[in-house]
Structure 1
Amino acid sequence: MADTLKNIRSKFVSSVSKTVIHQLLDDLLDDKILNDGEVEHIKDGTSMRAEKARSLIDMVRNKGDTASHILIKRLKEQDPMLSKNLGLDS
């Protein structure tokens, strides 16, 4: 699953909205994939949407396959159209 995130990284970064990023951060905090400090780092680290997206996908990808699987699952829930465009619907 971490490889899947690596393969979709650039398209995710260019396509995901700031709203979806924040929803994913909340979801991943609830799922205990990210901690408060990591969420705040992404939210407050930069105002640029693309940088937030890069930080999010890289942080989760580095946590391994289980974390990556949960991010993909949450992305499918939050933005089904983006998930489909990224090829994650299968």
Structure 2
Amino acid sequence: MAAELLNGERGNIVKGLNEANIKLLVDKLFNQKVINQFEKEAIMETHGRADKARALVDMTYAKGEHVSELMITLLKDVDPVLFNDVFLKADSMDGSPVFNLR
């Protein structure tokens, strides 16, 4: 579910991530050994904020469900406003969130 959700909200995440938060997310993923030095450099050497954000989302999505869930969780810590805008949209009339963190 997290991978589908991450991929489905790719455009909104790319629009909302700023350069500083991209760097924070990349550093956190690197420190947790989710991405390696080569992948970190590939993302950070990409030109343009939006392209960096796309590379980050695409790389985490490609690594599967667990990493996608981690990316969403890290996004909540790094940019709670963007997380709320993207993932806590009302799924139904009762206002239940689209994504529930454990």
**TM-score grouping bracket, smaller chain normalisation:** over 0.9
- TM (normalized to structure 2)? 0.83
RMSD, matched Cα = 1.1
1:14 alignment counterpart? 15
Distance in 1 between residues matched to 2:46 and 2:77, nearest whole Å: 25
1:76 alignment counterpart? 76
Q: What is the letter of the counterpart of residue 74 of structure 1?
A: L
Gaps of 5+ in 2: 89-98
The structure that is helix-richer by fraction is 1
Q: Deviations over 1:65-86 (max 9, x none)?
A: 0000111111100111110000
Gaps of 5+ in 1: none
Which structure: larger Rg?
A: 2
2:30 alignment counterpart? 29
Distance in 2 between residues matched to 1:87 and 1:64, nearest whole Å: 18
Moved over 2 A (4+): none
Distance in 1 between residues matched to 2:46 and 2:51, nearest whole Å: 9
- TM (normalized to structure 1)? 0.94
How many equivalent residue pairs? 89
Higher RCO, 1 vs 2 (CA within 8 Å, ≥6 residues apart):
1
